[in-house]
Structure 1
Amino acid sequence: MVGVSILCEWAVRQGAGLGTLLRGSRIDPWRLADPDGLIEAQQEIVVIRNLLTAFDDRAGLGTELGRCYHLTAYGYFGYLLAACSSVRETLRYGLRYMPLTFAFSTMSAHVREPGQYVLGMASDDVPEDIRRFVVERDVAATVQLQREVFPGPGQVPLREIRLAHEIGETRRRAVYRDHYRVPVRFGRPRTELVFDVRYLDQVPPMANPHTALVMAEQCERVRAERLHRTGVSARVRAQLLGQDSLATSLEEVAEQLHYAPRTLRRHLENEGTTFRAILDEVRRGLAETLLRDPSVPRYEIARQLGYQDWSSFLRARRRWRTVVRGTSDR
């Protein structure tokens, strides 16, 4: 809801009517103030289409709005990035917790020669009529976020912006130049943000490992809660919670849900997770419940969680904590 609220606040300041913006979205105006409110992507798409109509879908509109997505709008995620020990760490966390942001684009990152660190934005799954807007918004918001993590002139070594779309209004190109202050290329094969590769080792001025760990734990909790709600992930989670013991495999769960293992794995990847991650999450939650009950013996806790003995559970518990600190699932 926060993302839609930012859209509406900006548009109302520019003279648009709130009722016009929300028409057909099934969003009541009073809900815009709810910081924990969640909506479906389709509802935001309706608001975006209303906004584009109100402002004649002018070039640069997404860039204008992307500048309004400040660090504080991202909640735990924003503070996590500010507290990271390096840009490499912000990248690792950023890719993991991208579903907690307002972005419609799919982000990727890689290093190219000579000395370039490139963030790519793919938008093939975005409806064509809003694609230019949401990509521009995602790119502008990404730059805005990084400039607030690294405040001060020249702290973010952005070298070039490449946009996959063209714009017909040459006079509107000033909107892009004013925000990015680097060359902006249109009609490129891919949408990309190009940085100096040395940026990856830069340390945010507010870096704090303790705060980063706390924020990562909160982001992990929110991510898990959202994955609970919909999709194949929710079906896998429900299947696991209904079993007497969590000593199971992806192949067994796939058979129970009438999927081929490869198909189930692909669905989970598309939802930004894995069977291992869901299994660990379910185990963590069940472990917290069982450990609060002193009448449950250790061997029974290990059995229900799917481990051969108590020592195996303790090793897994240490691994869970390592994953939250930002290392990849092993």
Structure 2
Amino acid sequence: MQTLWVSMPILRNIVLGATCQPEARQQICSRGGITPADLDNPEMKLSLEQNCALMDAALQLSGDPNLGLHIGERTTVSILGITGYLMESSKDLLTALQHLQQFTSSFSRIYYFGIEQTGEEVMYIGEPIPLWNALSPETARQSVDIAFAGALHILRLLTGLQLQPLRAQYRYPRFADTREHERILKCRPLFSQPCNALTFAKQDLQRSVIGYNRELNLVFKKLLEQKLQEDQGLPFIHQVRTIILEQSRFAFPTLEEVADRIHLTPRTLQRKLQEENSSFRALSDLAKEELARNLLSSKNLNISEIADRLGYSDPAAFQRAFRQWTGKTPKTYQNEAARPALL
């Protein structure tokens, strides 16, 4: 069962935004292991690896270093499916963004949207999962540009007003040329910050949404809540493994951290896993293997760095574990995974 995925409409938006040439679209799709016809399948889910490959190809073929910004400023809520319709029928902008935070998992498991309120300011946070940053830093950064420019465009569409943030901040190093960011975001971005975020005046996000419809809003919210319940109906071990992968930000999550995320004591979490003939260590190893395979396919980290990211203080211990999981050394797997670019 695929754990880290993104819905097709999100990537369709990127592919179509990168080029209008059929041959170029064919090449982009080929890099992601899909066909152009797949772009019209809204139920299709793509893996993190496919997401990175498609975005990387789109960047190469478009030749646009600010592709994310330009896609974002044309983005509408429709790419978010039912979550987008929920936002479009919300009472005000703040409620719409809170719905986005609540139901992100309906369209992506590789991105986090969050809302933090402090006094008269509201911070809109957009974070690719850490594995994405490790696998493909440039596509992860571009995804933040899409999220920022897309959020601004959507907020303006929902209200008919030219809203702009107080501040824009990135956790990434300063870009060589920020003029396009300043034009689209309407402010000079800050860099090397603790998180990726747009900060708004709270009063701006209390603006009414033009399409507010209480009855429709309740219908969309009920549909999404049912979807969340269905996901929660998955085997408990699958839920825990998903949380382990999603929580692996800057260090691999502990039993206590995962238990806290799902509001259980560590002892209860262990007991429930035992009832399903598993253990936290076994699930952690499965998650580590999945992360290790993905990270070894990337050229951005060496084996020592990957070992450290997975919580191994000694690279030799990671190498022994990886051989036990796969029957291969990390270096052998990395060499086999390397393949020439198609573009």
1:93-125 Cα distance to aligned partner (Å, 9 max, x none): 221101234584322222235x22112223333
In the alignment, which residue of structure 2 is the partner of 1:256? 275
Aligned match for 2:111, one of 105, 110, 117: 105
Note the 1:72-221 alignment, pairs <5 A: 72-101=78-107, 104-113=110-119, 115-123=120-128, 124-126=130-132, 127=135, 128-153=137-162, 156-170=163-177, 173-221=178-226
Could you tell me which residue of structure 2 aligns to residue 23 of structure 1? 30
Write the distance in 2 (CA, Å) between the matches of 1:42 and 1:33.
20
Cα distance in 1 for residues equivalent to 2:35 and 2:98: 36
1:147 maps to amino acid: R
Secondary structure at 1:125's aligned position in 2?
A: helix
SS of the aligned residue for 1:149 comes to: helix
CA distance in structure 2 between the aligned counterparts of 1:235 and 1:163, rounded to whole angstroms: 30
Q: Deviations over 1:41-69 (max 9, x none)?
A: 3222210121222245x542211112232
Answering whether residue 2 of structure 2 is matched by residue 2 of structure 1, we say: no
Per the alignment, in what secondary structure is the counterpart of residue 39 of structure 1? Answer: strand
After superposition, the Cα gap between the structure-2 partners of 1:224 and 1:18, relative to the gap in structure 1 and judged at 3 Å, is farther
**1:38 and 2:45 correspond:** yes
Report the CA distance between 1:214 and its aligned residue.
Answer: 0.2
* Amino acid corresponding to residue 211 of structure 1 in structure 2: L
1:183 match: secondary structure: coil
Single out whichever of 25-34 and 65-74 deviates more from structure 2.
65-74
Distance in 1 (CA, whole Å) between partners of 2:126 and 2:281 is 27
Q: Distance in 2 between matches of 1:82 and 1:121?
A: 19
Code of the residue aligned with 2:102 in structure 1: it is R
Judged with a 3 Å threshold, the aligned counterparts in structure 2 of structure 1 residues 18 and 201 are, in CA distance, closer, same or farther, namely closer
Unaligned runs of 5+ in 1: 237-248, 268-330
- Pick closer, same or farther for the CA change 1:26–1:94 going to 2, 3 Å: same
Change (3 A) 1:75 1:129: closer
227 and 41 in structure 1: CA distance in 2 versus 1, 3 angstrom threshold: farther
Deviation at 1:16, TM superposition (A): 6.8
Per mean C-alpha deviation after superposition, the further-off stretch among 15-24 and 63-72 is 15-24
CA distance in 2, matches of 1:198, 1:262: 47
Rg comparison, structure with higher value = 1
Aligned to 1:291: none
| Contact 1:104 1:134 (8 Å CA) reproduced | no
**Amino acid across the alignment from 2:100:** G
After superposition, the C-alpha distances for 1:234-271 in whole angstroms (9 at most, x for unaligned) are 699xxxxxxxxxxxx8665322124558998xx9xxxx
Number of paired residues? Answer: 248
Counterpart of 1:48 (choices 47, 55, 59) is 55
Q: Distance in 1 between matches of 2:172 and 2:209?
A: 32
Alpha-carbon distance between aligned partners in 2 of 1:182 and 1:15, rounded to the nearest angstrom: 36
Partner of 1:295: none
Kept in 1, the 8 Å contact 2:31–2:57? The answer is no
Cα distance change on mapping 1:226 and 1:65 into 2, 3 Å: farther
**Equivalent-residue separation in structure 1 for 2:59 and 2:29 (angstroms):** 12
- In the alignment, the residues of structure 1 paired with residue 230 and residue 67 of structure 2 have an alpha-carbon distance, to the nearest angstrom, of 33
1-structure distance, mates of 2:32, 2:281: 36
**157 and 230 in structure 1: CA distance in 2 versus 1, 3 angstrom threshold:** farther
Structure 2 alignment gaps of length 5 or more: 1-7, 242-267, 287-343
C-alpha separation in 2, matches of 1:102 and 1:145: 18
Instruction: Tell me how far 1:22 sits from its aligned partner.
Output: 1.6
Mapped partners of 1:39, 1:226: distance in 2: 17
1:130 shift after superposition? 2.2
Name the TM-score, length of structure 2 as normaliser.
Answer: 0.62
Say whether the 8 Å CA contact 2:91–2:212 is kept in structure 1.
yes
Q: What is the CA distance between 1:79 and its match in structure 2?
A: 1.4
Tell me whether 103-112 or 213-222 shows the greater mean CA deviation.
Answer: 103-112
Q: TM-score, normalised by structure 1?
A: 0.64
Query: RMSD across aligned C-alpha pairs, in angstroms?
Result: 3.3
